């Protein structure tokens, strides 16, 4: 029986991830003790209706399905490039939902993002305030920083999205590193070692390990705590890592070599029809007119699929007809960018 594909792109949740073959010898990890995967995002009280809807309605192109499975089999990050609104981030939510991999861990990248931000945050100032309050209640002096205590540290340290994804879960977690092309030039190279080795250390806990070998630290996306021993974290099931890029910069060869690359193209008419049906139901005659108009205009400049969805939804619910409806649709689908030879007055 073929084990391919594990991810089918059908949006039907299943436990096929448990049948995933063993990793290549050079991508095997042995972190522990193993942790259970949190409940799926839709089953939690904090679930986002928007993200749940995107996961259920995502229409995966065949090439996306193949490369997602390749990334899962090879335990490699997936670099997804495409224009805005092409479904880059939605892919991560769709995979997490279908394979029951728990809530997506999301790291939104800015020009100031560093590797440290993704791994963990340590609030030294809040620890100092807590030490002063404790000392005041006890009538003594606060402890100096020379005596690191893991039990004190753990209350002021939280793992970031990347740090949480690399915990030793039985099933891989899904990590979305969104808009990596916005990062400082050094971040892609800084990620190389962590994503290659599947492990990292928390220096504050390493220093405290002699006094407190085991610390219970908070994780990203909730109030749960996990045990970290000796200040070291090593994954067990390598996370499914999706790095999105709008194609605004090139990445170093060493970074690209460690990723699988997926380029999302502009949807064709058949795919747009499926996307509209998944989100809003079977398109009526006017919606199909907007789909055709969207495809024609896309040759002259950048348009995003969610612009089309907005236009179809609003023109269908506002009760407008004729010229008013056309004028509203035009305003909802402005070009995000223009091709050099495009006509500014074209519609």
Q: What is the CATH number of the domain that holds 67?
A: 3.40.50.300
pTM of the prediction?
0.88
Asked whether residue 154 falls in the same domain as residue 287, the answer is: no
Asked whether residue 54 falls in the same domain as residue 152, the answer is: yes
Element housing 291 (H / E): helix 285-297
Which of 346, 267, 341 is CA-nearest to residue 307?
A: 267
pLDDT band, very low/low/confident/very high, at 343 (cuts 50, 70, 90): very low
pLDDT over 90 for what percent of the chain?
66
pLDDT at 234 over 80: yes
Question: Which pLDDT value is given to residue 341?
Answer: 44
Q: What is the pLDDT of residues 248-259, one digit of tens each?
A: 889 999 999 999
Question: Which pLDDT value is given to residue 345?
Answer: 37
- Coil vs helix vs strand at 120: strand
Residue 88 in domain: yes
Asked whether residue 115 falls in the same domain as residue 134, the answer is: yes
**The domain containing residue 309 runs over which residues?**
269-338
Residue-averaged pLDDT of the chain: 87
Tell me what the mean pLDDT of segment 193-218 comes to. 93
Asked whether residue 249 falls in the same domain as residue 303, the answer is: no
Domain closes at, from 212, 229, 263: 263
Asked whether residue 215 falls in the same domain as residue 326, the answer is: no
Q: Which residue has the higher pLDDT, 17 or 126?
A: 17
Residue 346 in domain: no
Asked whether residue 161 falls in the same domain as residue 51, the answer is: yes
Element housing 276 (H / E): helix 269-280
Asked whether residue 120 falls in the same domain as residue 222, the answer is: yes
Range with the lowest mean pLDDT among 121-135, 193-207, 298-312? 121-135
Asked whether residue 109 falls in the same domain as residue 123, the answer is: yes
Asked whether residue 243 falls in the same domain as residue 308, the answer is: no
Q: What is the pLDDT of residues 15-62, one digit of tens each?
A: 999 999 999 999 999 999 999 999 876 654 456 788 889 899 999 988
Residue 2 in domain: no
pLDDT band, very low/low/confident/very high, at 146 (cuts 50, 70, 90): very low
Cβ atoms of residues 69 and 96 within 8 Å:
no
pLDDT at 183 over 90: yes
Domain closes at, from 263, 297, 314: 263
pLDDT band, very low/low/confident/very high, at 347 (cuts 50, 70, 90): very low
Q: What is the pLDDT of residues 63-119, one digit of tens each?
A: 999 999 999 999 999 999 998 888 999 999 999 999 999 999 999 999 999 999 999
Number of domains composing the chain: 2
Asked whether residue 112 falls in the same domain as residue 131, the answer is: yes
Asked whether residue 255 falls in the same domain as residue 290, the answer is: no
Which of 265, 334, 325 is CA-nearest to residue 300?
A: 334
Residue 27 in domain: yes
Give, as one character, the DSSP assignment of residue 169. Answer: B
């Amino acid at each position: 029986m073929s084990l391919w594909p594990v991810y089918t792109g059908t949006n039907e949740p299943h436990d096929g991830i448990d049948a995933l073959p063993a990793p290549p010898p050079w991508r095997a990890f042995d972190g522990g003790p193993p942790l259970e995967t949190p409940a799926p995002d839709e089953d939690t009280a904090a679930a986002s209706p928007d993200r749940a809807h995107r996961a259920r309605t995502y229409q995966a192109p065949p090439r996306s399905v193949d490369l997602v499975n390749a990334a899962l089999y090879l335990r490699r990050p997936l670099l997804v490039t495409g224009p805005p609104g092409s479904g880059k981030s939605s892919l991560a939510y769709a995979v997490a939902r279908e394979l029951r991999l728990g809530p997506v861990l999301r790291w939104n990248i800015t020009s100031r993002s560093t590797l440290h931000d993704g791994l963990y945050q340590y609030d030294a100032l809040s620890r100092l305030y807590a030490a002063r309050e404790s000392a005041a209640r006890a009538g003594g002096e606060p402890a100096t920083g020379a005596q690191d205590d893991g039990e004190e540290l753990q209350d002021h340290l939280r793992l970031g999205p990347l740090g949480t994804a690399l915990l030793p879960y039985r099933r891989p977690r899904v990590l979305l590193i969104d808009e990596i092309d916005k990062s400082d030039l050094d971040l892609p190279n800084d990620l190389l070692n962590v994503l290659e080795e599947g492990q990292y250390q928390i220096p504050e806990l390493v220093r405290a390990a002699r006094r407190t070998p085991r610390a219970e630290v908070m994780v990203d996306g909730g109030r749960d705590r996990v045990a970290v021993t000796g200040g070291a974290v090593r994954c067990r099931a390598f996370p499914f890592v999706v790095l999105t890029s709008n194609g605004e910069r090139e990445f170093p060869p060493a970074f690209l070599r460690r990723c699988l690359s997926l380029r999302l193209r502009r949807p064709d008419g058949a795919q747009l029809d499926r996307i509209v049906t998944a989100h809003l139901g079977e398109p009526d005659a006017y919606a199909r007119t907007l789909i055709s108009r969207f495809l024609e205009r896309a040759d002259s400049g950048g348009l995003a699929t969610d612009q089309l969805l907005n236009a179809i939804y609003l023109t269908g619910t506002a009760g407008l007809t004729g010229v008013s409806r056309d004028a509203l649709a035009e305003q909802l689908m402005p070009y995000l960018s223009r091709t050099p030879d495009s006509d500014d007055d074209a519609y």
